[in-house]
Amino acid sequence: MAAKTPSASATPGDPGASGLWPGRLAAGGSPFDGITARSPRPDLEAFLASPAVRELAQQICEIGRRMWQRAYVDGNGGNLALRVGPDLALCTPTQISKGFMRPEDLCLVDLAGNQLAGARKRTSEILMHLQIMQRQPRAVASVHCHPPYSTGFAIAGVQPPTCLTSEFELTISLATAPYRTPGTPELGRFVADLVDQHNTILMANHGVVAWSHRSVEDAYFKIETLEAYCHTVLIASQLGKPLKRITPAQLQELLQIKQRQGIPDPRYGLEQCEHCLSTEWRPGETCAAAHCAARPANPPPGGEPDEALVQAIANQIKARTMI
């Protein structure tokens, strides 16, 4: 069965759609009807070349170009995936700069990672994207790259503090996955274990991956927001003043908006004093909520944080940037 010509353009995450993947239109039929991973190879190739899928491929290429322009990827790094059927996904190929992809470069795979169509070989990290989509049924798209500030936090094993900007709190729910070799099922499992309550994952000693229930662009926006946030936190921490936090009551308002947008966050339903804990960033820090102020802070292993060491590291970084 050949892919049908769509009567309207495919829109990832269309709230009026009858399914979670792009192109499942509420009316007028869909170019994806009848196409599955078990369809004959000629039909799958025709599906990949259809105008609707080609439009989605162009969107992926555009996001790849933005990542490359912002230096979120280097060499052949980074990969993207977009679900286009009940058991089909579109993904970027291996061994290609994400800044110079064309729609015909993209690959069609099933949810086990088997390549079904496309002239180039699919990315070696597709299993991680597919495990995200299988563990989180709402995930339409996922984007992985190596933005330097966010990856710096991932290498240091530190999650950036919360309760500092409204944009971060409204859009990002962040967790960290332990390091495993890129492209392995183990890495995919560790990342997938976190996507039920988080939409953005720091990958230790590796990079960042984000998923969206709307579009590949929305998944990319999460990475862009995280990278700007990490950069801002590092700048603010060097100004010699305590960071001013959003109050627990103010954060509660943001979380209510976030929940209405359908964005996951493990803090829904927690006490206000549990919203802004940032023990990795500032060990021993206490909450600003009045009814939590009496709670003792958990001291870090080995005693109080060595502020002199922190300042020495900051001075070294500053000196290097002035050379």
Span 154-179, mean pLDDT?
97
Calpha distance 68→143 (Å, rounded): 13
Rounded to 5 degrees, φ, ψ at 91 are -145, 165
In this prediction, residue 310 has a pLDDT band, given cuts at 50, 70 and 90, of low
Does 180 score more than 90 pLDDT? yes
Per DSSP, 132 falls in state H
Task: Write out the CATH class of domain 59-236.
Answer: alpha beta
139-157 mean pLDDT = 98
**pLDDT higher than 50, residue 267:** yes
Q: Please give the single-letter amino acid code of residue 196.
A: D
125 annotated active-site: yes
In 84-115, which positions are buried (b, 16+ CB within 10 angstroms) versus exposed (e)? bbebbbbbbbbebebbebebebbbbbbbebee
The whole-model pTM stands at 0.81
pLDDT band (50, 70, 90) for residue 125? very high
Answer yes or no: is pLDDT of 1 > 70.
no
Predicted confidence band of residue 276 (pLDDT cuts 50, 70, 90)? confident
The Cα–Cα gap between 21 and 183 comes to 24
Report the pLDDT value the prediction gives residue 308, as an integer from 0 to 100.
58
The torsion region of residue 23 among left (phi > 0), alpha (psi -120 to 50) and beta comes to: left
CA angle, corner 191, sides to 186 and 193, nearest 5? 95
Mean pLDDT of the chain: 84
Sequence spans of domains, the chain:
59-236
Rounded average pLDDT over 157-183 = 97
Tell me how crowded residue 305 is: count the other CB atoms within 10 A of its CB. Answer: 14
* Options 45, 55, 104, 125, the catalytic residue: 125
The total of other beta-carbon atoms located within 10 Å of residue 171's CB is 20
Q: What is the CA radius of gyration of the chain?
A: 21
Q: Given this model, what pLDDT does residue 281 score?
A: 56
pLDDT at 252 over 70: yes
Question: Lowest mean pLDDT: which of 18-22, 146-150, 166-170?
Answer: 18-22
The pLDDT value given to residue 270: 86
